[in-house]
Structure formats: C-alpha cells, structure tokens
C-alpha cells in the first residue's frame, strides 16, 4: 500500500525521503519528459512510460531525436544515477508507483469530434494494477468533466477501489514554457484541483517539490478544466484577429511585421505572429465548442475564430498561387519546394499536421511538390508520406516556388544568390514564418509573398 494520497511536506523535505517515492509519468510528450526530468532532479525515483516502443528505445539510448540535445543529456545523467528509467509496460509500473501522472492526449476524428478511447484504454491499464493509496494526477488537457467522469469511473471499475478513499485523484495540466532552462522549471505558477482536500494537499506538495513553483489551488476539478481550456482558447481568438489583420495588411500595402514589432515593444498587450494554428491551441477550442453544444450553450466568437484560423491553410495556398501567377507560371505542374515540416523551429519535433495538409492542397491543384527538412532524414519523410528530397539543393533545383513553413536557422541563412541560380529564372518565395528578409529577396529578383506582408509586391 502506498501513502502518496496522504503525503505531506515533511515526508518530502529531503532527497533521501523523496527517493523512497516512485513517480511514473505516462506519456512521453515534451511536457511529460520535462516533468520527468524535474522529478528525477528533485530526487524522486522516476519512471517515464510510453506504449510506443521506438520512443522508449530512443530515450533509453539517451538520444531522442525529438528533444533538445541538452534535455537528452540531462535524462541520460538521471538514468546513470538510477533516478530515471523508461518502459512501455504501464501495468507493471502502475503496480509499484506511488504517484502517477497521466499525459494522455485526446484525439479528434475527421468531423473534429473528440475521441477518448485512448484515454479509456490507458485508465483501464493503470486501474488494473495500481496500488491502494496511490495518487493519480491528470496532467494533460481534457474535456470538461472528464476527470471526474471518464477517468475516475474507468480507474474505479478496473481497480475495484474508490477515488478519494482508496486512491487519490487530481487534475493539474503541466506546461513548462519552451524558453525555460532545463536547470530551472521557470514555471511561475501551477494550478491544481482534486477530488478531496487531502488529495489536493498531496498533489500540491508533490508539484511544489518537483517544480519549485507557486501552487494555485482551485476548488472544483471542472473549474480547473475550463480554466485550462480557456487559456488556449483565448490564444486561439487572439490568433484569429491577428490573422484577419494580417490579411488586411496584405490588401492595403502595409507590413504587419512593423505593427507587430512596435506593438509588442511599446504596448501592454502582446500580439501573436500570424500563421496556421498549432494543434494544441485548436484542441482547446474544439473541446470547449463540443462541451457548449452538449450543454445547449453557444460560443459564437470561439467558433468563428476556429473557422478563421482553419481557413489560413487556404490562404497560404492562395499566396502560393499568387506567387506563381506573378512569375507568369501556370499552377498545374509548377514545381514547389516546401521547406520545413517540424512543429518547432530548429528542433526535430513531430511533423506539423498543417504542413501536411498544405502539401496535399497544393498537390490537389496539380503542383509537383518536393519537401525538405534538415532535422528529418529522407527515409523518415518518405515514411510519413511526404514527397521528400535528400538535400536542400535537390529540393530547390528548378523550383518555381519556395514555400518556407518553419523558421529553421538554415532557412533564415539561405544564400539567395545561389538559390536563384539553382531555381528557375523566375521564382517566387512564399514565407509563412517570417524567415526571409523581403527587401533582400526582391532585390535578388524573387517574387515575394508572405503572411501579412503587404510590401514588395510585384
């Protein structure tokens, strides 16, 4: 039996005491692995779990390609000091864990409806073997009411135990900022809610020990779930307004980047960079919209923002077509080089689904698309279904248009003179991530198009 659901600060006030607690992190996402790092650093016996055997193999070898090199190095050190281990066996680890963090992602079907089958499966596996007295913390974004409904019920049914009495249950979505140092969590605050006051105290103690953060306690798990969703949905709405203003700037000959730089330097509010929304932001909006429909409520502003942001893919396609037409090139059979598929600049992160959708849209118009990303091998790109090229030279040679989708440093340092020689006589650059200096591009003879760049248009 575990004592985690009733743990107090005095039980974790030294590395020796923390070492006695086994903490598992189920789901090796970026946030999951960062949390595993901070748990191990704090002295907990930490185990990271993922059903994907390939990911576990990478992590065991200390060379996960989707992580920053610094984090790989730190995780390897934790393994060598026996503070961290990796496995794909959820049931075995659940049977000896005191605290279990669940990083289980909600997926969506083609109609953009949430599918919780993966969440159910993981909860059943955990519940089948978890220890009495353990503490379960849901650490990823989830629909409103799902912690107390789906997660709680699946754990109780599989274990035969009662939440809040035989095991603890809490909700605390872990998000460590991208800019944070791996030696410092840089989390200024972390909110947490739980089924009972005792569960809340235990979860707060564990989180404060690992993250060294201010812990904000929230009464009511549903309130915390809505707060988590609202934070990303708020970004989605702001993003939609930015995208609309960016398109306005394109039509009126204004450079949105000037507005962005001045506003963010001298104003109290922060403008996001226009573009195609990331998956986690759209997920929050979709979950809130789904919940609103079930509650017979309406969220028209959020629904419109989601529609606006979804349409940015079509707008990106329009910029490509406009660039080709400005070069007097036909759209059909035009050779287009797409530079970048990673979801983050200068990192080998999972391929951004929006890039794949854009590639498919261009192919549907008859364009001949070639894809290159310096952080993915030719084989990896082909396996993911991309029409890949092995080198940057191969991708841009004889191209009619270059579409830059990720701001890798390699793309920001492109030698435009050499690119112009390799590409066709008249070539367009469509910059979707503000990687290229538009003035230099036009000076070198390129046709330039970019999100919100109502300048240098020929």
**What does the pLDDT look like over 192-210, one tens digit per residue?**
999 999 999 999 999 999 9
Residues of the chain with pLDDT under 50: none
For residue 226, tell me if it sits in a domain. Answer: no
Q: Please indicate, yes or no, whether residues 30 and 178 belong to a single structural domain of this protein.
A: yes
What pLDDT, on a 0 to 100 scale, did the predictor assign at position 425?
A: 78
347-357 confidence digits (pLDDT tens): 877 777 889 99
For residue 456, tell me if it sits in a domain. Answer: no
Domain boundary residue, one of 281, 310, 339? 310
For residue 232, tell me if it sits in a domain. Answer: no
Q: Please indicate, yes or no, whether residues 148 and 42 belong to a single structural domain of this protein.
A: yes
Give this prediction's pTM: 0.86
Q: What's the CATH code of the domain at 288?
A: 1.10.1040
Q: Please indicate, yes or no, whether residues 44 and 174 belong to a single structural domain of this protein.
A: yes
262-286 confidence digits (pLDDT tens): 888 887 778 888 988 766 668 889 9
Q: Please indicate, yes or no, whether residues 138 and 179 belong to a single structural domain of this protein.
A: yes
d(CA 166, CA 127): 12
Q: What's the CATH code of the domain at 445?
A: 3.40.50.720
For residue 328, tell me if it sits in a domain. Answer: yes
Q: Which domain holds residue 326?
A: 312-450
Domain boundary residue, one of 295, 310, 325? 310
What pLDDT, on a 0 to 100 scale, did the predictor assign at position 200?
A: 96
For residue 30, tell me if it sits in a domain. Answer: yes
Q: Please indicate, yes or no, whether residues 213 and 331 belong to a single structural domain of this protein.
A: no
What pLDDT, on a 0 to 100 scale, did the predictor assign at position 18?
A: 93
Q: In total, how many domains does the chain have?
A: 3
């Amino acid at each position: 039996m575990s004592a985690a659901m009733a743990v107090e600060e005095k039980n974790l006030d030294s590395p020796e005491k923390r070492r006695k607690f086994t903490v598992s992190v189920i789901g090796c996402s970026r946030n999951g692995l960062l949390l595993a790092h901070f748990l191990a650093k704090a002295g907990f016996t930490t185990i990271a779990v993922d059903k994907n055997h390939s990911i576990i193999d990478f992590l065991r070898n200390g060379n996960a390609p989707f992580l920053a090199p610094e984090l790989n190095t730190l995780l390897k050190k934790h393994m060598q000091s026996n503070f961290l281990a990796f496995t794909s066996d959820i049931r075995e680890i659940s049977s000896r864990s005191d605290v279990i963090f669940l990083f289980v992602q909600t997926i969506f079907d083609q109609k953009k409806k949430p599918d919780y089958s993966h969440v159910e499966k993981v909860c059943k596996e955990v519940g089948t073997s978890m220890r009495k007295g353990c503490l379960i913390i849901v650490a990823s974004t989830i629909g409103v009411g799902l912690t107390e409904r789906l997660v709680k019920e699946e754990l109780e049914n599989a274990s035969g135990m009662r939440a809040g009495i035989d095991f603890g249950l809490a909700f605390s979505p872990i998000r460590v900022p991208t800019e944070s140092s791996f030696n410092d969590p840089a989390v200024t605050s972390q909110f947490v809610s739980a089924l009972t006051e005792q569960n809340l105290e235990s979860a707060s103690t564990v989180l404060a020990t690992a993250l060294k953060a201010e812990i904000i306690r929230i009464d009511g798990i549903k309130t915390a779930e809505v707060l988590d969703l609202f934070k990303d949905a708020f970004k989605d709405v702001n993003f939609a307004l930015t995208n609309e203003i960016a398109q306005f700037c394109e039509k009126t000959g204004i450079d949105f980047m000037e507005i962005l730089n001045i506003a963010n330097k001298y104003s109290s509010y922060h403008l996001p960079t226009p573009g195609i929304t990331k998956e986690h932001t759209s997920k929050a909006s979709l979950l809130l919209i789904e919940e609103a429909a079930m509650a017979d409520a309406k969220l028209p502003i959020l629904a419109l923002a989601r529609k606006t942001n979804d349409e940015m893919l079509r707008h990106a396609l329009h910029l490509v077509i406009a660039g080709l037409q400005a070069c007097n090139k036909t759209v059909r059979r035009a050779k287009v080089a797409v530079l970048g598929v990673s979801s983050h600049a200068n990192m080998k992160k999972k391929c951004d689904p929006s890039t794949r959708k854009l590639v498919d849209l261009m192919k549907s118009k008859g364009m001949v698309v070639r894809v290159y990303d310096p952080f993915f091998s030719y084989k990896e790109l082909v396996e993911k279904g991309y029409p890949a090229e092995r080198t940057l030279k191969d991708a841009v040679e004889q191209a009619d248009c270059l579409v830059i989708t990720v701001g890798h440093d390699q793309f920001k340092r492109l030698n435009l003179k050499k690119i112009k020689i390799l590409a066709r006589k008249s070539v367009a650059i469509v910059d979707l991530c503000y990687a290229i200096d538009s003035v230099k591009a036009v000076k070198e003879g390129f046709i330039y198009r970019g999100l919100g760049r109502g300048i240098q248009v020929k």
